[in-house]
Structure 1
Amino acid sequence: MKQRLDYLDNLRTALTILVIVFHTSIAYGASGSWILIDVDTSELTITSILLTIFTAICQAFFMGLFFFLSSYFIPSSYNKKGASLFLKDRLLRLGLPLVLYCFLIGPSTAWFALSSNKMSLNEFYRTEVWSFKQLFVGPTWFLEALLYFTVLYTAFRLFSRNASQAPPERPFPTNKALLVTAVSIGLIAFAVRFVYPAGQGPLGLQFGYFPLYILLFIVAPFAYRHNWLQALPSRTVKLWGWIAVCAIPVLPIGFILTGALDGNFTFQGGLNFQALLYALWEPFVCFGIILKLLQLFKSRFHTAGALSKWMSAHAYTVYLIHPPVIVLWTVFFHDFDLPPAIKWVIVSALSVVVCFLAAAMLRSIPGARRIL
């Protein structure tokens, strides 16, 4: 048990660092939505193209893997605490940070980045926050989604007679099952994006990406119950790792052939080749990278030293506070005459260090560790 917890905790920490690097890359040219963009996005550059490929790969798997890791131990937690205490604990750990971000961290960061030279913070709150003209969910959309999923899981357990019984053993999914699932999820995402194009959705929830998130959230308890992670089939992992590697260049090549270099981007949704390619591309990259990461961390990063334990303890808080830290460093380096790629590396590294140090300070406040 200890080994399993350590490698999954280490993987979660690595994903948290990747989130910081991911959002910083958008600030310096990658396609995506972020608080403060510090480059001219009107023209394609080598840096913007490479960073966009990087963010596309990350988007394909990292939040889905977060959902998987977040729900992996849900069955044991629910069994230990019962429905009432389980829900109370989740509301405390997810709900309070969500409110804190939406009404303090998010608005103050947006004001500093975009409106501090136009209006006072008090005026910003009056016109933008308390009026609910904007919702400052930011990266805590993930916590919001987990709350919804938690409620649904609890309802399922309460109304399912057999959920608490020992399930019959189910082997790890076959390659055929993974293939069918990948194609099916891709087609479902393609259909969803007719209504909610990629990157859009209510309450900060980008529904175009949710088919994969829902799948991985549901699969994780099955993986826990049937010990799938304890015996990952090496041949399956190797095959899907190569599938992911081979699939990665297909997306940029497909986009280039359909006019991306001339500014033709229609991948967000609709009845077009780019949207279909993007929707089908994601699950193949997702499955391969996730399986490979699980195997890698299980075999190579399964122990926890003092530093890794310290970082793991603070990773959740880092996730909550990383936006203002990135914005502060982006503003600081704005007038430095450096290439965007260099700024991306520097700001990413500094943001990671400062986020963990700030998280340690915040968690030292009495009572904070119960929530953070």
Structure 2
Amino acid sequence: MAATVNVPLSNLRAVVIAIVVAFHSALPYLASQPAQPFAFNASPYRWVAFPIIDHERWFGFDLFCAWQDVSLMSLMFLLAGLFTPASLNRKGTPLYLLDRWWRIGLPFLLAAAVLSPLAYYASYCLTAIDASPTAFWEHWRTLPMWPAGPAWFLWQLFLLSAVAATLHALAPRSLTDLGRLAESLKDRPLVFFIGLTALSIVAYVPLTLAFNPWDWASWGPFGFQLSRPLQYILYFFVGYAIGAGGLDRGLLRCDGQLADRWWAWLAAAVASFALWGVLTSLTVQGWDASPFAYRLAAALAYPLACASGVLCMLALCLALLRSQHRMLDSLSRNAYPIYLLHYVFVVWLQYALLTTSFDAIGKAAIVFACALALSWTASRGFTAFNPLHLSLPGRRAMADQPR
């Protein structure tokens, strides 16, 4: 008997990958960007996050990208953790770890080694005197790190998967207790939200005050945001707890209170994001130069905005995306290869549009539509001839969960 896919969460996966592509498509057109592109060889190497700088700008993209930066990656870690218990229970620890290596570890290395330099070559061409591939490679090899682009998510996910597998083997009761705790909150999403926000404050605020909200550290291709490692660990294991408790009887039931009050979570997400935006704007003169009270207020606002944003996305999909759609189902099936491939298309399309007469909205729309279509098409072709049988992490586990 074929496994039943959890339709709302499958649709959420499709929505998330579309948002990822849209987020990267809009980055050159932020009103907050400097007038000139970042120099390739100059610290702090901001081109890693903003490979292309365009003269066309629209402030609406600043709001969109800021909102996604607050909650999108935490949601992705939560979704990854959500389906981990089913995979571990089905495969056992050794087979699960081997599967994670083939599906996450090796693709990360391939993406960092091949796709990342291919994408960033376009950024190098913006400021290079000699834009030849040979000159680019010489400059690339002298960098103090090896930028992996969006693939940074994969090495962290692989590490967290390994930790979950180790706990599953050595301390299974601890994970079972997490599942029971999550199940006990199934009809109390507000209590869940308060607890998640409180834990996030502990995980995020001290690191943010010690460093700042934006900076990254890298060792070779292994990059991480200094303020958020504990935040992502938290959301992964919160997702694990929900998945261990059972989607059919937990917080993410389609007939649960989270889904029923999606409108309230949407209002909370908008309000908390606005609060975070206002408080963060008080540090616009520079994080370290801002008064401690401003930095503390902005840091405290982030966990609130993140938790409400994540629960808002979950509630919206549980309430409004309960039906299967051919396009969403295809996008969900191909989401992982799209994640791996889209950045090359995005950056080179942005580079190609630099001298065109379109405004910021037009350019971003073209980049988004073309990059999504090209990476989607490439993904389908890649899947047809895929020797590693790569699929989106958690996709099979999702199929094991009842609706």
TM-score range, shorter chain: 0.7 to 0.9
Which protein has the bigger helix share? Answer: 1
- Alpha-carbon spacing, 1:365–1:38, altered in 2? closer, same or farther (3 Å): same
- Alpha-carbon spacing, 1:236–1:209, altered in 2? closer, same or farther (3 Å): farther
Which runs of structure 2 are paired with 1:1-372 in the superposition (5 Å)?
A: 5-29=6-30, 34-40=49-55, 47=58, 49-115=59-125, 118-129=130-141, 133-162=144-173, 168=180, 170-172=184-186, 173=188, 175-176=190-191, 178-186=193-201, 188-199=203-214, 200-202=216-218, 203-226=222-245, 227-230=250-253, 232-234=256-258, 238-256=263-281, 258=282, 260=284, 264-266=285-287, 272-370=292-390
- Alpha-carbon spacing, 1:288–1:251, altered in 2? closer, same or farther (3 Å): closer
- Alpha-carbon spacing, 1:250–1:360, altered in 2? closer, same or farther (3 Å): same
Higher mean C-alpha deviation, range 289-298 or range 233-242? 233-242
For 1:22, what is the secondary structure of its paired residue? Answer: helix
- The share of aligned pairs that are identical, in percent, is 20
- Alpha-carbon spacing, 1:154–1:10, altered in 2? closer, same or farther (3 Å): same
Q: Is the 8 A contact 2:27 2:50 kept in 1?
A: no
- Alpha-carbon spacing, 1:193–1:353, altered in 2? closer, same or farther (3 Å): same
Unaligned 5+ segments in structure 2 are 34-45, 393-403
* Partner AA of 1:247 in structure 2: S
* Partner AA of 1:351 in structure 2: A
- Alpha-carbon spacing, 1:74–1:184, altered in 2? closer, same or farther (3 Å): closer
Match of 2:42 in 1: none
- Alpha-carbon spacing, 1:161–1:74, altered in 2? closer, same or farther (3 Å): closer
Counterpart CA distance in 2 for 1:251 and 1:163 is 34
Counterpart CA distance in 2 for 1:97 and 1:352 is 20
For 1:229, what is the secondary structure of its paired residue? Answer: coil
Deviations 1:280-329 (A, max 9, x none): 22222222232232222223222323322221121111111111111121
For 1:100, what is the secondary structure of its paired residue? Answer: helix
Higher mean C-alpha deviation, range 178-187 or range 10-19? 178-187
Q: Is the 8 A contact 1:190 1:269 kept in 2?
A: no
- Alpha-carbon spacing, 1:323–1:273, altered in 2? closer, same or farther (3 Å): farther
Counterpart CA distance in 2 for 1:101 and 1:289 is 29
* Partner AA of 2:156 in structure 1: A
Q: How many residues align?
A: 361
- Alpha-carbon spacing, 1:151–1:215, altered in 2? closer, same or farther (3 Å): same
Deviations 1:258-298 (A, max 9, x none): 374xxx142x8986344323322222222223223222222
- Alpha-carbon spacing, 1:30–1:14, altered in 2? closer, same or farther (3 Å): farther
How far off is 1:157 after superposition?
Answer: 1.3
How far off is 1:161 after superposition?
Answer: 4.6
* Partner AA of 2:65 in structure 1: T
Counterpart CA distance in 1 for 2:301 and 2:289 is 14
Counterpart CA distance in 2 for 1:88 and 1:30 is 45
Unaligned 5+ segments in structure 1 are none
Q: Is the 8 A contact 1:198 1:269 kept in 2?
A: no
How far off is 1:350 after superposition?
Answer: 2.1
Q: Is the 8 A contact 2:82 2:242 kept in 1?
A: yes
* Partner AA of 2:276 in structure 1: L
For 1:204, what is the secondary structure of its paired residue? Answer: strand
* Partner AA of 1:144 in structure 2: W
> What TM-score does the superposition give when structure 1 sets the normalisation length?
0.85
- Alpha-carbon spacing, 1:28–1:315, altered in 2? closer, same or farther (3 Å): same
How far off is 1:55 after superposition?
Answer: 1.3
For the aligned residues, what is the CA RMSD?
3.0
How far off is 1:217 after superposition?
Answer: 0.6
Q: Is the 8 A contact 2:209 2:296 kept in 1?
A: no
> What TM-score does the superposition give when structure 2 sets the normalisation length?
0.79
- Alpha-carbon spacing, 1:165–1:60, altered in 2? closer, same or farther (3 Å): closer
Q: Is the 8 A contact 1:311 1:356 kept in 2?
A: yes
Counterpart CA distance in 2 for 1:76 and 1:181 is 23
Deviations 1:210-230 (A, max 9, x none): 333222111112112322212
